[in-house]
A and B are shown apart, each in its own frame.
Chain A
Amino acid sequence: MSRKLPLALLTSLVLAYGLPLAAQANPPSLSLNGFGTLGVVHSSEDQADFVSSMLMPRGAGHTSDWSAEVDSRLGLQLTANLTPRLSSVVQVVTEQQYDGQFRPAIEWANINYDVTPDLSLRVGRVILPVFMNSEYRKVGYATPWIRPPLEVYRTIPVSSADGVDVSYRSHIASVTNTLRATYGQSDATFPYIDAAMDRATAEARAREGLTISNTVEQGSISLFAAYSHYRLSIEDFNPLFDAFRMFGPEGDAIAERYNVDGKTFEAISLGARYDPGNWFVMGEWTQTSSRTFLADNRGWYISGGYRLGAFTPYLTYASQRILSKTSTPGLSQPGSEPLDAMLNSMLQGQPQQESVSVGVRWDFSSNMAVKAQFDHMNHEGKSRGYLVNSQPGFEPGGSVNLFSLALDFVF
């Protein structure tokens, strides 16, 4: 991640606001909280790696029989309540980065100002609320599962943006409505296999990103809807499309259709949760579209669980499908075969799968939970699903079983 926040600015703001307040009746307070997951994953497929995010290069399967790199992470958060209205949050998360290393990265660092008790403004690195559980998607303790269903959550792996966030809460009878708008930009470095079959990384840049989300809560019911819109560029893939352009107008047309160079990317998400106490059921549906080689996707899941004392067994069904074409005739001109093949492999590289997961969460102590989960994933078409690092012996389009164990904690 090359995203750098003006930390110096943040610190000076904290100091500037913090010092005069020391004399006030409500003294500024500083609190440190943390969360983490220690998890291991075993995959039945040993010719490729299962990863939990497209930003990770290494996982369970080929690289290691039992991988602790898929789900393990540690988050630390410093919250400064400077005045009753002004607060600041800095959260650092250590997890596997695009180069396979575990390194801390700044997840959020922002200053929050409550204009009224129900209207708040944030500036800095803020949350990107694209999905129902995305605000706490990295806090394993906060969700029933080992990891949020990838059929939805993998489609937008980035969870923060540098910019501003406005949140407005309103109360109508017993209904609480929270409307949120986020505007900003984010960069993410992701690993991929290049044309020479070597490991490479590329930088995805999202600009002019606008996310509008709304949450309605009443008693045990929660409904979520979000719309996101941004301009996406992956400049590392431009040379490929420049090569297409050398074939004249036909090549230009292909480049225009599939390149990722300031293209509009849109996502719509809907979610619902019902949790009366002894049991819960929740589901989400999301659809993404862009005129790029990244496929238009539709993903959804439904998940339910029943609480038996400290144990919560749960069951999830999830599916992700590609709505756009996964192949193209390409140029079909003499000499264009390698280019056509490259483009087709990129189109086909998008995941398409369905999965059934069954697991149990055990809240054995007040700050800790242990989870065990079994996932059966079916890859459809010639998809590799969420597997990376595939070896020559790998056959796409099959099914994979995963077994995961995790300890989640908060403090």
Chain B
Amino acid sequence: MPSRLTKIGCNLLLGLASSLALADAVVVVSAQSPVSTLTRSELTDIYLGRTNRFPGGQPAMPVDQRENSPAYVAFYRNYLGQTPAQIKMHWSRLIFTGRGQPPRSLADHQAMADFVAEQATAIGYVDGAYIDERLRVVAID
């Protein structure tokens, strides 16, 4: 129940914050994951490769949707406040120093929902319509 409320809350906030077409990027983990909330800076650290762990110490594996897909653009704009070009710039800094590779990229919402559901360490973002009992919505403070 709380997760459902969180989801609705997230959607409302996102709906206010961005255009409708891009609104529905909700951060999710597997239902088996103990993670239920993250701060914006914790989420940022995970997605920018500054840490490979959740605050509780469990390994974190961020995954992305296709670069420049609406979900990708919405996620980075709404949660990290960054454009795809900035994200590309960030990863080019890490790739060319051999210090990291960007998150694995998945084809679409369905692929991401399935992948995150299967992997207890994964974290991703999907449209609200793709959330089912296998996934938990993560509240972002």
To the question of whether A and B form a pair in one complex, the answer is: yes
**Interface residue ranges, A against B (CB under 8 Å):** 31, 33, 35, 75, 77, 79, 87, 89, 91, 108, 110, 112, 117, 127, 135-136, 139, 141-142, 169, 171, 174, 176, 217-219, 276-278, 307, 310, 363, 366-367, 369, 410
A277 touches B98 (CB 8 A): no
Closest Cβ neighbor of B77 among chain A residues: A277
Within 8 A of A (CB), among B21-51: 39, 41-42, 44-45, 50-51
A135 and B97: CB pair below 8 A? Answer: yes
Of all chain B residues, which has the CB nearest A87?
B98
Q: How far is the CA of A278 from the CA of B85 in the complex (A)?
A: 12
Distance in angstroms from A208 CB to nearest chain B CB is 24
Picked from A33, A142, A174, the residue with its CB within 8 Å of the CB of B41 is A174
Say yes or no: A136 contacts B53, CB within 8 Å: no
Cα separation A265 to B84 with both chains bound (whole Å): 41
Given contacts A141-B89, A277-B82, A366-B68, contact A77 B42 (CB under 8 A): no
The CA of A33 and the CA of B95, in the complex, are separated in Å by 8
- B11 at interface (Cβ–Cβ under 8 A)? no
Q: Which A residues touch B92, using CB under 8 A?
A: 35, 136, 139, 141-142, 410
* B interface residues, tally (CB under 8 Å): 28
Q: A176-B45, A217-B50, A219-B44 known; A75 and B96 CB under 8 Å?
A: yes
Cα A224 to Cα B84 in complex, Å, equals 25
B 60-85 binary contact with A (CB < 8 Å = 1; else 0): 00000001100000000000111111
Q: How far is the CA of A217 from the CA of B95 in the complex (A)?
A: 18
CA distance A136 to B66 in the complex (A): 25
- B98-123 interface code vs A (CB 8 A; 1 in, 0 out): 11010000000000000000000000
CA distance A252 to B87 in the complex (A): 57
Binding site for A on B (CB under 8 A): 39, 41-42, 44-45, 50-53, 67-68, 80-86, 88-89, 92-93, 95-99, 101
Q: Given the complex, which residues of A lie within 8 Å of B52, measured CB to CB? A: 117
Chain A's nearest CB lies how many Å from the CB of B44?
7
Tell me whether B85 and A310 are in contact (CB under 8 A).
yes
Residues of B within 8 A of A410 (CB): 88, 92, 95-96
Q: Which 3 A-B pairs have the closest CB atoms?
A: A89-B98, A277-B81, A363-B85
Check A367 against B95 for contact (C-beta < 8 Å): no
In the complex, A174→B141 CA distance in Å? 13
B99 to chain A, nearest CB (A): 8
Contact A174 to B97, CB < 8 A, known contacts A142-B92, A366-B84, A367-B88: no
Partner of A366, one of B39, B85, B99: B85
**Which residues of chain B have C-beta atoms less than 8 A from A141's C-beta?**
88-89, 92
Query: 8 interchain pairs (CB within 8 A)?
Result: A135-B96, A141-B89, A142-B89, A171-B45, A217-B50, A307-B86, A363-B83, A366-B88
Q: Once the chains bind, are B39 and A174 in contact (CB under 8 Å)?
A: yes
B84 to nearest A CB, angstroms?
A: 6
Given A89, A174, A363, which contacts B45 in the complex, CB threshold below 8 Å?
A174
Q: Smallest distance from the beta carbon of A198 to chain B beta carbons, Å?
A: 38
For A218, what are the chain B residues with a Cβ–Cβ distance below 8 Å?
41
Cα distance, A31 to B101, chains bound together (Å)? 10
Q: Which residues of B contact A91 (CB under 8 A)?
A: 96, 98
- Select from chain B the residue with minimum beta-carbon distance to A310: B85
Q: How far is the CA of A4 from the CA of B72 in the complex (A)?
A: 43
The answer to whether B96 and A35 have CB atoms under 8 Å apart is yes
Alpha-carbon distance A110/B97, docked complex (angstroms):
11
Q: With A141-B89, A176-B50, A218-B41 in contact, is A112–B98 under 8 Å at CB?
A: yes
- State the Cβ distance, B107 to closest chain A Cβ, in Å: 17
A29 to chain B, nearest CB (A): 9
- Give the distance to chain B from A166, nearest Cβ to Cβ, in Å: 13
Q: Which residues of A contact B88 (CB under 8 A)?
A: 141, 366-367, 410
Which residue on B lies nearest to A91, using beta carbons?
B96
| Distance A161 CA – B99 CA, assembled complex (angstroms) | 17
If A307-B83, A366-B88, A369-B85 touch, does A136 touch B97 (CB 8 Å cutoff)?
A: yes
Contact partners of B97 in chain A: CB under 8 A: 127, 135-136
- Distance A389 CA – B70 CA, assembled complex (angstroms): 52
Q: Which residues of B contact A142 (CB under 8 A)?
A: 89, 92-93, 96
Establish whether residues A176 and B51, one from each chain, have CB atoms under 8 Å apart when the complex forms: yes
Chain B, Cβ-Cβ closest to A107: B96
Cβ contacts under 8 Å, B44 to chain A: 219
Q: Which residues of A contact B53 (CB under 8 A)?
A: 117, 171
Min CB gap B119→A, angstroms: 14
